[in-house]
Amino acid sequence: MGIQAPHSAGRETRDSVVIRFAGDSGDGMQVTGSQFTVETALARNDLATFPDFPAEIRAPAGTTFGVSAFQIHFGKIEILTPGDEVDVLVAMNPAALMVNLRDLRPGGLVIADTGSFTERNLQKAGYRANPLEDDALAPYQLLKLDVTRLTLDAVAPFKLGQKDALRCRNMWALGLMLWMYGRDRQATLEQLAKKFAKRPEIAQANIAAINAGHAFGETAEIGEGFPAFNVPKADLAPGTYRTVSGSEAMAFGLIAGLKAAGLKRMLFSGYPITPASALLHTLAGLKPYGVVTFQAEDEIAAVCAAIGASYAGVLGVSASSGPGVALKTEALGLAIAAELPLVLVNAQRAGPSTGMPTKTEQSDLYQAVYGRNADSPLVVLAAATPADGFEVALEAVRLAVTYMTPVMLLTDGFLVNAAEPWQIPDVGALPAFPVRFRTDPHEFHPFLRDPGTLARVWAVPGTPGLEHSIGGLERDHDSGHISYDPENHQRMTDTRAAKIAGIADDIPLQRVAQGDERGKLAVVGWGSTFGAIAHGVRDARAQGYDASQIHLRYLNPFPRNLGELLRGFEAVLVPELNTGQLVTMLRSTYLVGAEGLNKVTGRPFKSTEIADAIRARLER
Amino acid sequence: MTTAVSAKDFASDQEVRWCPGCGDYAILKAVHKTLADLGVPRERTVFVSGIGCSSRFPYYMSTYGFHTIHGRAPAFASGIKLANPELDVWVVTGDGDGLSIGGNHMMHVLRRNVNLQIILFNNEIYGLTKGQYSPTSRKGTRSPSTPMGSVDNPVSACEFALGAGARFVARSIDTTMPDLVHVLERAHQHRGASFVEVFQNCVVFNDGVFDGFTAKATASEMQLHVEHGRPLLFGRDGARGLRLRPGSMELEVVTVGDSGATLDDVLVHDETNKIMAMMLAHLEPPAHPIALGVIYCEPAPAYDDEVYAQVSAAGTPTDDIDALIRHGRTWTVEG
């Protein structure tokens, strides 16, 4: 037959590519995407990922609401977002095509498994006719492959049952995509051998499926329209890198904080909730690092146990998502009143109520800053990227133990699950902020304060001579005893506020991430919108628009220079995945005419949405 | 180590602010005496409470204390034990705090078997909020929130504890100092979660609610003081006893010598027998005497011990952050 490898002569070069793997929630799309990510990182591309999966663990097969997807954006250029538009959509069934086609750019490539485009699956996905057979996909390139049959052929020697054999389809598709972008397969083959060590026939079959997909690309006559690509190495700063998800980065940051504080133990206390549980899972495997994890009976118990642990002299940490944080609110008030350190991570998700647990949103900022009874200030920080979780978690620990205060750390479903390359920091250069427990009984009382930080002493049970009681009742500023004295309550309320406000003097001044410190438009964001805003501002600036990017890590208190900085711009635009929370805070704090750019679809901003908004404002 | 030798050394310098005549005073005294008898170090002792009259308790102790939020004391206490298992932790709670708003935490601290002591002051009423009926109030209790009498069935604290999987369940009365001290010492001795219900008289909102078995006239006839290995006898001259009603699974009161009942028919208390414990906890006056003392004690591994056994088994402690963050696949970009 003389099958030619039409592309062996050379590959087309691309600066960056966006691929989305989409299939049924049982099709293994997250594993496929994660392995493609590993191989891409090892190929030295910069990258960002976006896992997007349904809340249902195994929704009925073939339905649109059961579609699970994993998007990866990689390239030789700096990659800031998982990508606005998809270049290549791998659709493992009709439902995956139905749900994801809207994000494919015109002219983009659809790779469809024809074996799954059966009458029944088409019907379940809501197709009246097979889109692979009519002109529904005319604006795109289409590569029809019977991945199902090709996989079954490839794994036939291993005599698996039909179900296990079909489960190898994702690996066949992965093999093809690894070939198409010239990635190595080695890390994946090792991973499979390790994962299925106890079932070697499954490992062998999966490996055979990858190799078959790869070989198909190399040898089959796919056609001139479907070349292979070369995405050159990114120009990353020198150093050692790894990929890291938001949860991993945060777990590492908390442990680094534990060490920097000189504390011997952390109690991480959580209750299962999407999307926060990943942090509990990660830390549960890190016991030798001084971590004790506790799966409590409910959200309230989880935070109470963490506060109890801080009272007893270790670092108390808890994590949840908005609805769980709501349940923890009363206990946060106690931590504020008793002035105990605590780190509480909120992996935000779309709400209100149960909302959309696996979809991202930034709508808990008010809850974090204002959402408690009484005047009860605490510190609020937000991570901007998955890797940023490391530094922010470390900073959360520093502020919690230095100021004897709860710190709320905001992430979201997108940040927690997404991954990116991370330049491994020099551990020796990390800050140290050793805790000094009070041990001296002389003139001790539990609300003695450091005159600089206003933090009270940390006096822990087990210390002779410091026996005392604390609690939620208002206490005398001087003795710590229960006090209903009017002036004392005024004084204590003022002190609690001043302590948190004073942290503004102990955090970096707000910098401009891109652009000038004065000008026509400041685009101010916080949290996981960093990448999309950076990309949007970059594009707008490249077109000559005078826009600067300001991205906030510190949301309470704000950096000392923020008001002045904002007033240096003619206009302020605040993109947020909520209906306008930071924008309200900025307007009320600084009396600036900030304007919101808001979206609550459960999906991240696209950079084009930011760039378009910038242009619209500056062209008025 | 802070040496405390007498009961009063465990009292704080704070003025006690319970109502005059409140049963809490007697319990406080019994706890002071228990700690002195046990000779525990004050600095390693922590009292954790929730909200309610009883929860003011830590302020009146010269030990460490944490007055937390309503119902959650067991959760704070669990965190304290996980942070530092060396600490000797007591939870002080009430019927509303421990069995209503905090019922969930009570269940879990007991079934996990965290190594601490829980004293539940049961006065069958909400005192601090001025007299509403509580989850242990008997059906028909008239209160500001139930002017026609409560219609919900009460929960039995000890049956709840046994049902939750507690390995130590005991019961006492506020004013019976020697018995209460004995029970508290046994609770302290037990490694695991120890649950002690104390009938506590609220003089203002529920005065005399336990008179049916605490008043002088009724006490000896209606109190059954159980002791491991001793027959379940009670009454003025110890003539009445409990036996299994023949052909059934329930306890009945017999008078030794009457109707052919002999001492051999009377059950001997076995505090390791959970079925017997359930039956004893279930006894209610006036048909039956109230069971007091150590109803159940069958130790099992404590949660904090098992957690730390896993921590040890997980590997040698390390603070090598560099190794942690470099674990897995890395790659180097040359300068």
Cβ–Cβ gap B329/A242 under 8 Å: yes
C-alpha to C-alpha distance for B103 and B81, rounded to whole angstroms: 20
DSSP summary character for residue B278: H
- Which of 469-498 (A) contact B at CB < 8 A? 469-473, 481-482
The pLDDT of residue A364 is above 70:
yes
> pLDDT confidence of A2, banded at 50, 70, 90?
very low
C-alpha to C-alpha distance for A292 and A233, rounded to whole angstroms: 40
Q: Which of A60-69, A395-404, A445-454, B34-43 has the lowest mean pLDDT?
A: A60-69
For residue A225, the model assigns a pLDDT of 56
A543 CB contacts (<8 Å, ≥6 apart)? A615
The pLDDT of residue B3 is above 80:
no
Q: What is the enclosing helix (H) or strand (E) of A21?
A: strand A16-24
pLDDT digits (tens, 9 = 90+) for B81-131: 999 999 999 999 999 999 999 999 999 999 999 999 999 999 999 999 999
Neighbour count for residue A619 (Cβ, 10 Å): 7
- Among A252, A302, A460, the residue with its CB nearest the CB of B324 is A252
Q: How far is B97 from chain A (nearest CA, A)?
A: 14
- Provide the residue count of chain B: 335
Cβ–Cβ gap A469/B68 under 8 Å: no
Contacts B74 to A, Cβ<8 Å:
301
- Provide the residue count of chain A: 620
C-alpha to C-alpha distance for B228 and B268, rounded to whole angstroms: 8
Q: Are A338 and A287 a contacting pair, CB within 8 Å? A: no
Percent above pLDDT 90 for chain A: 91
The pLDDT of residue B48 is above 90:
yes
Average of per-residue pLDDT across A334-341: 98
C-alpha to C-alpha distance for B11 and A221, rounded to whole angstroms: 89
Coil, strand or helix at B136: coil
Q: Which of A21-25, A60-64, A116-120 has the lowest mean pLDDT?
A: A60-64
Cβ–Cβ gap A313/B83 under 8 Å: yes
Coil, strand or helix at A590: helix
pLDDT digits (tens, 9 = 90+) for B146-204: 999 999 999 999 999 999 999 999 999 999 999 999 999 999 999 999 999 999 999 99
What is the longest distance spanned by two Cα atoms in chain A?
96
For residue A164, the model assigns a pLDDT of 94
A10 compared with A42, residue with greater pLDDT: A42
Interface ipTM > 0.95: yes
Average of per-residue pLDDT across A251-260: 98
Q: Are A364 and A528 a contacting pair, CB within 8 Å? A: no
pLDDT digits (tens, 9 = 90+) for A213-230: 999 998 876 655 567 899
- Distance (Å) of CA A279 to CA A271, A293, A330, B166: 11, 10, 23, 31
Coil, strand or helix at B331: strand
Average of per-residue pLDDT across A400-414: 96
For residue A471, the model assigns a pLDDT of 96
For residue B335, the model assigns a pLDDT of 74
- Distance (Å) of CA A534 to CA A85, A574, B175: 16, 13, 71
Contacts A425 to B, Cβ<8 Å:
325
The pLDDT of residue B5 is above 90:
no
In a mutational test of the B interface, the residue from A250, A469, A483 whose CB has the highest number of chain B CBs within 10 Å is A469
Burial label for A223, CB within 10 Å (0-12, 13-18, 19+), is exposed
> Helices B303-313 and B73-83: crossing angle, nearest 10°?
40
C-alpha to C-alpha distance for A447 and A470, rounded to whole angstroms: 9
For residue A4, the model assigns a pLDDT of 35
The pLDDT of residue A1 is above 50:
no
Cβ–Cβ gap A461/B42 under 8 Å: no
Coil, strand or helix at A37: helix
For residue A138, the model assigns a pLDDT of 94
C-alpha to C-alpha distance for A401 and B113, rounded to whole angstroms: 31
The residue whose two tokens read 């790894």 is: A242
The residue whose two tokens read 């700096």 is: A78
Q: Cα–Cα–Cα angle for B259, B263, B267, nearest 5°?
A: 105
Q: Are B299 and B190 a contacting pair, CB within 8 Å? A: yes
C-alpha to C-alpha distance for A86 and A70, rounded to whole angstroms: 11
Question: Regarding beta strands A67-75 and A46-52, do their DSSP bridges make them parallel or antiparallel, or are they unpaired?
Answer: antiparallel
Burial label for B17, CB within 10 Å (0-12, 13-18, 19+), is exposed
In a mutational test of the B interface, the residue from A42, A268, A304, A426 whose CB has the highest number of chain B CBs within 10 Å is A304
Cβ–Cβ gap B80/A309 under 8 Å: yes
The pLDDT of residue A554 is above 70:
yes
Distance of CA B44 to the CA centre of its chain: 20
- Among B83, B321, B333, the residue with its CB nearest the CB of A236 is B333
pLDDT digits (tens, 9 = 90+) for A499-546: 999 999 999 999 999 999 999 999 999 999 999 999 999 999 999 999
Cβ–Cβ gap A240/B330 under 8 Å: yes
Q: What is the enclosing helix (H) or strand (E) of B321?
A: helix B321-326
Percent above pLDDT 90 for chain B: 94
Query: What average pLDDT does chain A have?
Result: 94
Coil, strand or helix at B106: helix
Average of per-residue pLDDT across A571-588: 98
Residue B61 sits at φ, ψ, to 5 deg, of -110, 150
For residue B76, the model assigns a pLDDT of 98
C-alpha to C-alpha distance for A445 and A477, rounded to whole angstroms: 10
C-alpha to C-alpha distance for B232 and B269, rounded to whole angstroms: 6
How many pairs of residues across A and B have Cβ atoms under 8 Å apart?
A: 209
The two three-digit tokens of residue A31, written as one number: 């594993």
Query: What average pLDDT does chain B have?
Result: 96
Q: Residue A366's closest CA among A413, A322, A324? A: A322
The residue whose two tokens read 């009396």 is: A591
Q: How far is A106 from chain B (nearest CA, A)?
A: 35
For residue A5, the model assigns a pLDDT of 38
pLDDT digits (tens, 9 = 90+) for A145-200: 999 999 999 999 999 999 999 999 999 999 999 999 999 999 999 999 999 999 99
Average of per-residue pLDDT across A3-16: 64
- Among A292, A472, A481, the residue with its CB nearest the CB of B311 is A292
pLDDT digits (tens, 9 = 90+) for A277-288: 999 999 999 999
For residue A224, the model assigns a pLDDT of 59
Residue B78 sits at φ, ψ, to 5 deg, of -65, -40
Q: Does A252 touch chain B (CB under 8 A)?
A: yes
C-alpha to C-alpha distance for A182 and A131, rounded to whole angstroms: 29
C-alpha to C-alpha distance for A399 and A275, rounded to whole angstroms: 25
Q: How far is A207 from chain B (nearest CA, A)?
A: 20
- Distance (Å) of CA A376 to CA A308, A329, A499: 19, 10, 11
Q: Residue A454's closest CA among A392, A505, A489, A507? A: A505
Instruction: Give me the amino acid identity at A424.
Output: I
A397 CB contacts (<8 Å, ≥6 apart)? A253, A254, A257, A258, A260, A261, A315, A343, A407
Instruction: Give me the amino acid identity at A203.
Output: A
C-alpha to C-alpha distance for A26 and B278, rounded to whole angstroms: 48
The two three-digit tokens of residue A95, written as one number: 């439902």
Neighbour count for residue B108 (Cβ, 10 Å): 21
Q: Are A279 and A246 a contacting pair, CB within 8 Å? A: no
Cβ–Cβ gap A308/B75 under 8 Å: yes
For residue B180, the model assigns a pLDDT of 98
- Distance (Å) of CA A449 to CA A241, A315, A452, A474, B185: 42, 20, 8, 16, 39
